[in-house]
A = this chain, B = another copy of it.
Amino acid sequence: MRQLLAFVLLLLGAALPASVRAETGYDLWLRYQPVEAQWRDRYAALVTQVTAAGGTTMLVAAGELRRGVAGMLGYDPVRRETVIGDGAVVLGTAQSPLIAPLGLPLAKLGREGYLIRSAAIGGKRVTVIAGNAEIGVLYGVFRFLKLIQTRQSLDDLDISDAPRLAVRVLNHWDNLDRYVERGYAGQSIWDWQKLPGHKDSRYTDYARANASIGINGTVLTNVNANADVLRPEWLARVKALAEVFRPYGIKVYLTARFSAPIELGGLKTADPLDPQVARWWKDKVDEIYRAIPDFGGFLVKANSEGQPGPSDYKRTHAEGANMLADALAPHKGVLMWRAFVYAAENPDDRHKQAYTEFQPLDGKFRDNVLVQVKNGAIDFQPREPFHPLFGAMPKTPLMMEVQITKEYLGFATHLAYLGPLWEEALQADTFRPGKGSTVAKVLESGAATGMAGVANIGSDVNWSGSQFDQANWYAFGRFAWDPQAKAEPIARDWAAMTWGNDPAVTGPIVRMMMESREAVVDYMTPLGLGHLMATGHHYGPGPWIADLARPEWNPVYYHKADARGIGFDRTATGTNAVGQYAPEVAARFGDRKRVPEQFLLWFHHVPWDYRTRSGWTLWDELIVRYDRGVAAVEAMQAAWKPLAGKVDARRWEEVRDFLAIQRDEAGWWRDASIAYFQSVSKRPLPAGHAAPAHDLDWYKAIRTPYAPGNGK
């Protein structure tokens, strides 16, 4: 019997099976896990009670503070005493009777700014979290909680902050049937079938997460939209969401299909200069504002990729945008008009078309129009030079659109922190009007300002499809709040809030994050290559694809590899896309010797035996980069392995699995790309670099028709 039981115990020796309450990632960076004992004692003395008075946003702010303190410090800071004691945290606006006497320097912080300051009230040492409006207080509360989450001191606080951009919006490419175009995290979280009758508690958690990083708007619907969301029964659902979001300072926006007056209104035209059309839009906008008094406005994709627009009536983008802007203006609504246009009939370099079409319209847009320009001129590639429109439309408010969802960076299973990509774009110097005119400064300089991120949010329990993709949502919020921000400290904050404060954990995680995007560039599109993904879904490599109807749909259009070399000549000898940049930038990009090597093949067709700065031939350098990318993924796997047991098992295993998938797919990219380019270059691989595992036909035969997120 003794022997038997010994055997039994061996079997059962494993830890108790993970509870169903295991960490799923649902909590995002708002985990509020208990702090270590020594920190708890320090913090508890400074957070003894919470006082607040005001409206629903103040209630939300106080509630979040209670939730955070309950989670991290283990008690509810609401006290039944009716006097303020030492350690009180006082929430209020500038007008609050407790705050006003302190004479805090709130004036310059605007409606959304906040101030956190250690102070004395009635002889008691307190912490004040104050704003000009309640939303500032909520932002301040999240900042205060972050201090605890990241183990900062709460003594002698004197923090003030305010957003540098006004419109900080997510763009959900969500269809009304819950399909998410370019979504890799399940379905749309908008469960329209149950709205407005049931408001899923997830909507509130969505609002909390966004408010915690300063996002103040959300476009609920896909830019490739039909007009149905503007019907009354859908507006009732939108209203229900707006009511959930309002206390969190988040406005709802909708995409407006330009042809809606025809489809919904029964008009014969959507010509923006037709008075009936303008009237229809004005009535529709008024109807929306009756239901949603703080409605944000519209986002429009017009005359691009088949969408209707003003060009259908020989009108300009400005004429189209202004008509809608006029309908919104009486309600203080904003019109976001995308500059992402390229036309089937236009044979010019796709890189140039947005600039060509929009730049001449500078100064022609209404004040409440924001022209929404992607970070690069093509389409959210792993690396692109900054869009030439930045700096080129000084009389027009420009906002930047980035893609949080990783359409071109491996979907949810590739770890790729996008902070460095966005920092690179924002810090790019446009030289317009002069040196130092970074994209970030251009964004901040408009009469209206903003930044849009295409959301990576879906119904997956972890929201983003992977734990690490949460970091991209987080980072977007931080950059939209402050385009001058830096990717690494954002990564550090996120890692500590999401994975805990152990430097043995956050150190490797931040290093993985900071190297991850460059790894993707290397194994997918090194040296300035781009848009080589397979057709439609963009999953996996397809550099050989040459048979699609429109030239710019084909990867061969972008790499132009031939027996002589590879790359797209966008210099004066080619399409002269460089001519759309400021002369200083054009001179640099246009000179093969001066162009940053990371953009070499973006702007130049380069012979295979060209010598790169490392001394390799271009061909050999390409191979080296592909292998470097794969090796970087293997390094991430090696860095992650020792974190087992240091982070919770479920999330650790998910990341482990995804890194293994990423390694496999990085190898697929590397092998398929080399097999194809070698069929063109006819060159041997440099010594020490392995041949692809299969021949080119094997890679060409791969079909993945069910890859998620394809437009439909």
A698 contacts the other chain (CB 8 A) = no
- A660–B195 Cα distance when bound, in Å, is 12
**Bound-complex Cα distance A122 to B12 (A):** 22
A628 within 8 A of partner (CB) = no
A82 interface contact, C-beta 8 A: yes
Within 8 Å by CB of A197, from B19, B21, B82, B657, lies B657
Q: Does A170 contact B (CB under 8 A)?
A: no
Residues of chain B with a CB closer than 8 A to A30's CB: 20
Known: A14-B63, A194-B658, A199-B657. 17 other contacts (CB 8 A): A2-B82, A9-B80, A11-B52, A11-B58, A12-B66, A12-B78, A19-B70, A20-B205, A21-B21, A177-B706, A184-B193, A192-B706, A197-B658, A197-B660, A198-B661, A201-B650, A459-B460
Are B187 and A5 in contact, CB atoms less than 8 angstroms apart? no
Name the B residues within 8 Å of A5 (CB-CB).
51, 81-84
Partner of A198, one of B51, B53, B184, B654: B654
Query: What residues of chain B lie closer than 8 Å to A198, measured between beta carbons?
Result: 413, 654, 657-658, 661
User: Contact between B82 and A186 (Cβ–Cβ < 8 Å)?
Assistant: no
**Cβ-defined partner of A52 (8 Å) among B8, B186, B197:** B8
In the complex, whether A27 has a CB less than 8 A from a CB of chain B is yes
B197 in contact with A12 (CB, 8 Å) = no
Q: What are 17 A-B pairs at a CB distance below 8 A?
A: A1-B83, A4-B97, A5-B51, A5-B81, A5-B83, A8-B52, A11-B53, A11-B54, A11-B58, A14-B63, A187-B187, A187-B459, A194-B413, A194-B658, A197-B657, A201-B653, A228-B705
Interface string of A300-329 (1 = CB under 8 A from B): 000000000000000000000000000000
Are B187's CB and A8's CB within 8 A? no
Nearest CB in chain B to that of A184: its residue: B193
Copy tally for this chain in the complex stands at: 2
Chain B's nearest CB lies how many Å from the CB of A58?
7
Q: Which residues of B contact A4 (CB under 8 A)?
A: 51, 53, 97-98
Contact with B along A155-188 (1 / 0, CB 8 A): 0000000000000000000001110000010110
Contacting pair B201 A59 (CB below 8 A): no
Closest B residue by C-beta to A91:
B8
1/0 contact string of A662-706 vs chain B (CB within 8 Å): 001000000000000000000000000000000000000000011
For the complex, is A103 an interface residue (Cβ under 8 Å from B)? no
Which residues A69-127 have CB closer than 8 A to chain B? 70-71, 76, 78, 80-84, 97-98, 122
Contact A707 B193 (CB under 8 A): yes
Q: Is A589 located at the chain interface by the 8 A CB criterion? A: no
| B84 and A1 contacting across the interface, CB-CB below 8 Å | yes
Which one of B17, B660, B661 contacts A66 once the chains associate, using CB atoms below 8 Å? B17
Q: Which residue of B is nearest A67, CB measured?
A: B17
Query: Given A4-B98, A82-B2, A83-B5: A63 and B17 within 8 A (CB)?
Result: yes
Pairwise interchain contact A26-B16, C-beta atoms closer than 8 A: no
A59 to B650, CA, bound (A): 19
A197 contacts which chain B residues (CB < 8 A)?
413, 657-658, 660-661, 664
Contact with B along A1-43 (1 / 0, CB 8 A): 1101111110110101111111000110010000000000000
A262–B407 Cα distance when bound, in Å, is 34
Q: A20-B27, A27-B20, A201-B22 are in contact. Are A8 and B177 (CB under 8 A)?
A: no
Does A62 make an interface contact (CB < 8 A)?
A: yes
- Can you list, as one digit per residue, whether each of A338-362 has a CB less than 8 Å from chain B (1) or not (0)? 0000000000000000000000000
- Identify which of residues 189-234 in chain A touch chain B, using a CB-to-CB cut-off of 8 Å: 192-194, 197-199, 201, 205, 228
Digitize A433-470: 1 where CB-to-B-CB distance is under 8 Å, 0 elsewhere. Answer: 00000000000000000000000000111000000000
Q: Is the CB of A12 within 8 A of B187?
A: no
The smallest beta-carbon distance between A243 and chain B, in angstroms, is 14
Q: How far is the CA of A6 from the CA of B83 in the complex (A)?
A: 9
Min CB–CB distance A623 → chain B (angstroms): 26
Interface presence of A708 (CB below 8 A) = yes
In contact, B97 and A411 (Cβ under 8 angstroms):
no
Q: Using known A-B contacts A53-B8, A59-B11, A706-B176, determine if residue A20 contacts B16 with beta carbons closer than 8 Å.
A: no
Looking at the assembled complex, report how far the CB atom of A648 sits from the nearest CB atom of chain B, in whole angstroms.
Answer: 12
A50 within 8 A of B: yes
In the assembly, what is the distance between CA of A4 and CA of B66, in Å? Answer: 19
The chain B residue sitting closest to A660, CB to CB, is: B197
Distance in angstroms between the alpha carbons of A14 and B50 in the assembled complex = 14
CB pair B83–A2 under 8 Å, yes or no, is yes
Distance A50 CA – B8 CA, assembled complex (angstroms): 9
Task: Please give, as numbers and ranges, the residues of chain B lying within 8 Å of A653 by CB-CB distance.
Answer: 201
Tell whether, in the assembled complex, residue B76 and residue A16 are in contact, meaning their CB atoms are under 8 Å apart. Answer: yes
Give A421 to B429 CA distance when docked, in angstroms. Answer: 70
A664 contact set on B, CB distance < 8 A: 197
B11 & A62 in contact (Cβ 8 Å cutoff): yes
A6 and chain B: residue at smallest CB distance? B82
What residues of B have a CB within 8 angstroms of the CB of A98 in the complex? 1, 4
Chain A positions 228-263 with a Cβ under 8 Å from a chain B Cβ = 228
Compute how far the CA of A388 lies from the CA of B491 in the bound complex, rounded to whole angstroms: 66
Q: Nearest residue in B to A69 (C-beta to C-beta)?
A: B16
Are A194 and B661 in touch, CB under 8 angstroms?
A: yes
A1 neighbours in B (Cβ, 8 Å)? 83-84, 98, 122
Please measure, in the bound complex, the distance between the C-alpha atom of A115 and the C-alpha atom of B58, giving whole angstroms: 59
A52 to B5, CA, bound (A): 8
Smallest CB separation, A102 vs chain B (Å): 14
Question: Given the complex, which residues of B lie within 8 Å of A76, measured CB to CB?
Answer: 16
A80 to B13, CA, bound (A): 9
Which residues does chain B contribute within 8 Å of A192, judged by CB atoms? Answer: 706
Partner of A186, one of B8, B459, B650: B459
Chain B contacts for A83, CB-based, 8 A: 1-2, 5
CA distance A460 to B63 in the complex (A): 27
CB–CB A52/B706 < 8 A: no
**B-chain residues with CB within 8 Å of residue A411 when the two chains form the complex:** 193
Chain B nearest Cβ from A656, distance in angstroms: 9
Chain A 401-415, CB-CB to B under 8 Å as 1, else 0, gives 000000000011100
Report Cα–Cα, A49/B212, bound state, in Å.
47
